[in-house]
Amino acid sequence: MHALEQKILAEGIVLSEEVLKVDSFLNHQIDPVMMQQIGQEFARLFKDAGITKIITIEASGIAPAVMAGLELGVPVIFARKYQSLTLKDDLYRSKVFSFTKQVESTIAISNKHISSSDKVLVIDDFLANGQAALGLADLIHQAQAEVVGIGIVIEKSFQPGRDLLLEKGYRVESLARVKSLANGTVEFVRD
Ligand code: G4P
């Protein structure tokens, strides 16, 4: 997605060879116009897939997922990473280990919002090691619903997440694919 790549080049900060900071439009401050374009692109890619629900994970997946939900006309569920006061019973839960942060968290959604007839699109802001996407897919499988695809805003293609998800048979659509963050510069995958 050209506009997203331009945005990353203009505003992204390479913190290390592994980490890209995009706090100005995705992970802290949110650029609604950029998010709308991202939602439109996800909708274009998945418009014929019969999607009935979108699932993401708090916090940074929510903005792109909501925009995609608006474009596709479907509800958006965000998995919780922290205990909620109101969300207690009838939960699907999955454990997600973050290699980036070296912490394990339990993600959860209520079983009220997903059923076996749902065709679900998973959306997340970053794809690194694929553990968040796999955890979300696990929640969907617990509901016996179908994972139609995985939509990612920024994929770090030099990390193993994409291949892991493809090996498991998932359709992966990443709007920006970062090949390398070496030497303080962002290089994209060119197909
Ligand atoms: P994985 O799900 O692909 O295995 O990724 P990993 O555990 O390694 O990453 C965990 C968290 O770190 C996620 O955010 C992910 O979005 C974020 N992350 C990974 N690599 C980068 C990067 O290069 N840049 C930025 N900005 N974030 C990265 P999270 O903990 O869920 O945070 P949030 O959604 O609440 O913001």
Alpha-carbon distance of 166 to 177, in angstroms, equals: 15
Query: Of all residues in the chain, what percent carry a pLDDT higher than 90?
Result: 92
Check residue 126 and give left, alpha or beta (phi > 0: left; psi -120 to 50: alpha).
Answer: beta
3-state SS class at 143: coil
Q: Kindly report, residue by residue over 111-135, the tens digit of the pLDDT.
A: 999 999 999 999 999 999 999 999 9
User: Which residues on adjacent β-strands are paired with residue 154?
Assistant: 126, 176
Instruction: Supply the pTM of this predicted model.
Output: 0.96
Q: What is the CATH number of the domain that holds 90?
A: 3.40.50.2020
State pLDDT tens for residues 135-172. Answer: 999 999 999 999 999 999 999 999 999 999 999 999 99
- Which phi and psi (to 5°) does residue 69 adopt? -65, -40
> Is the CB–ligand 1 distance for residue 128 below 6 Å?
yes
Number of domains in the chain: 1
Determine the distance separating the centroid of ligand 1 and the alpha carbon of 88, expressed in angstroms.
Answer: 25
- In terms of C-beta density within 10 A (0-12 exposed, 13-18 middle, 19 or more buried), how is residue 179 classed? middle
Task: Please state the rounded mean pLDDT for residues 1-10.
Answer: 98
116 lies in which domain range?
2-188
- Give the dihedral sign, CA 64/55/113/83: negative
- Whether 72 contacts 54, CB under 8 Å: yes
Is position 36 annotated in a ligand binding site? Answer: no
The CB of 129 under 6 Å from ligand 1? The reply is yes
Please name which of 70, 180, 175, 165 lies closest in space to residue 125, comparing C-alpha atoms.
175
Place of tokens 């802290």: 28
Judged on CB neighbours under 10 Å (0-12, 13-18, 19+), 103 is exposed
Q: What would you measure as the largest C-alpha separation in the chain, in angstroms?
A: 49
Atom nearest to 22 CA in ligand 1: 26
